Amino acid sequence: MATQPSTEVVEQPSGKHRVVVIGSGFGGLFGTKALRHADVEVTMVAKTTHHLFQPLLYQVATGILSQGEIAPPTREILAGQRNAQVLLGEVSAIDLAAHTVTSTVLGRSTITPYDSLIVAAGAGQSYFGNDRFAEFAPGMKSIDDALELRGRIFGAFELAEIGASRGENVDHLLTFVVVGAGPTGVEMAGQIAELAHRTLKKDFRAINSRHARVILVDAAPQVLPPFGRKLGEKTRSELEKLGVEVVLGAMVTDVDERGIAMQFKDGRVERIDSVTKIWAAGVAANPLGRTLSEQTGAPLDRAGRIAVNPDLTLPGHPEVFVVGDMIALDNLPGVAQVAIQGAKYAAKEIDRRLRSKPSLGPFTYFDKGSMAIISRFRAVALIGRFRFTGLIAWLMWLALHLIYITGFKNRLTALLHWFVSFIGRGRSERTTTEQQIFARSALGRLKHGAADLVSDPGAYDAARALLETTRRAELEERAAEEARLTDSGVRGVRVEHQVG
């Protein structure tokens, strides 16, 4: 049987203005939702089926929250929005001349035409050119990352228990290194310290979890540089009170299975033996920025972010908006509010154009402030000129995150889990599986990832058709035999066998 083509072109039958949104993160979801009253057909193309609340990934990694609480299904969120549909697929090409987006899932490609496009594909982890570090020091960008880290963190304590009961040295298993002292690194280091000193302290027999070392390393001379010197100092001293060792001015030069090497400004090189390393150091904008840059001439900065016009469109392409972590505009930070506000602005602008209303003018960002949690009841917040620390900042963090977690049931269960972890000592989500670490690594070694594990769509259809033909012939033959037995009167007639 001939192999079927695995590329499909999706046309909108309604004849309405077609908006394609790439990504289901903060930009993608809020942009799509902002178009709910517009006279358009929206297609959100995203490579995951969920909307991810990245700021709480570290709580999934350390067993406080489940992945479902921070990653509700996009289809469910948009179920009531009649003008929106969701298409699963990783966008591999954007053709600005043809106005199409090509996305692929497990070898099946879809070409989706658009009249307006909002690109909100976010950013990934950057290992500053040392991608081989990723295998030994996972980043913190996706649910897969968080679950792998959960497996590695809790797994290290388990292996240490086995080793210690045999009298082996387990220091390398009980040493956790977090690379990058930005908000994510601070949050991870604080949580691992809490795990070791509070949550796990009664759970083991051969090891004392409180002896675990948590080391936060950064090449910068201070913790949380964007929060300013004062809050950086405060955060550092709070971390040290929790038992975290803060190593600043140290650039990580190598990472392998057994540990990391770091170099100080004076040239000194030190090595830390550690099985569990977490990379929270750098970000690189989504590679789709490069294809947009090549087609428009818009430059990319060092982090791969594309320079956009003040109204977030691309040069020569007023129908294409780029928002969130992918853009370089006025030194805007890579935070959720930049993506949310940018996407809402783009949606509004599309709607106004369709209604022949004047343009909104340049995009302006309203800075609502920044926060980082250090541990339970301790956080720092910078809102305008005002600095908050300790319990007040922590309560502000709690309120804000509850507001922004999507979905009522997620808010309720997150609150319950926070109660368990912050008031009590427990963590409700400590389950880990071998798949989290080993299956992921195995997939990573396949040339085309998961696509290598499924047959190509044409081959699958051909195999199924052959199976159906064979099975049908078998069934027909059996039915004919049954009928023959009945019609010939043979069925039920005992045949006497003569013995001897």
Q: Quote the tokens at residue 344.
A: 């809402």
Q: What are phi and psi of 235, to 5 degrees?
A: -65, -45
Q: DSSP characters for 43-74?
A: EEEESSSB---GGGHHHHHTTSS-HHHH--BH
Find the shortest distance in angstroms from Cβ 272 to ligand FAD: 23
Residue nearest ligand FAD, CB atom distance: 25
| Residue closer to ligand FAD (CB basis): 153 or 336 | 336
Which listed residue (41, 69, 148, 187) is catalytic? 187
Find the shortest distance in angstroms from Cβ 70 to ligand FAD: 10
Q: What are phi and psi of 136, to 5 degrees?
A: -105, -20
| Residue closer to ligand FAD (CB basis): 29 or 173 | 29
Find the shortest distance in angstroms from Cβ 255 to ligand FAD: 19
Is the Cβ–Cβ distance between 179 and 185 less than 8 Å? Answer: yes
The closest alpha carbon to 293, from 283, 304, 282, belongs to 304
Is the Cβ–Cβ distance between 383 and 368 less than 8 Å? Answer: yes
Catalog residues that contact ligand FAD under the rule CB under 6 A.
22-28, 45-48, 54-55, 57, 90-91, 120-122, 140-141, 183-184, 286, 288, 324-325, 334-337, 339
CB-based contacts of 7: which residues, under 8 Å, 6+ apart? 102, 108, 109, 110, 111
Is the Cβ–Cβ distance between 351 and 35 less than 8 Å? Answer: yes
Find the shortest distance in angstroms from Cβ 266 to ligand FAD: 32
Find the shortest distance in angstroms from Cβ 277 to ligand FAD: 16
| Residue closer to ligand FAD (CB basis): 22 or 164 | 22
| Residue closer to ligand FAD (CB basis): 218 or 325 | 325
187 catalytic residue (yes or no): yes
Q: Tell me the one-letter amino acid at 469.
A: T
| Residue closer to ligand FAD (CB basis): 29 or 437 | 29
Find the shortest distance in angstroms from Cβ 165 to ligand FAD: 35
What is the rounded CA–CA span in Å between residue 126 and residue 140? 11
Q: DSSP characters for 293-357?
A: HHHH---B-TT-PEE--TTSEETTEEEEEE-GGGEESTT--SSHHHHHHHHHHHHHHHHHHHTTP
| Residue closer to ligand FAD (CB basis): 174 or 339 | 339
Q: Quote the tokens at residue 244.
A: 């975290």
Q: Which residues are known catalytic residues? A: 187
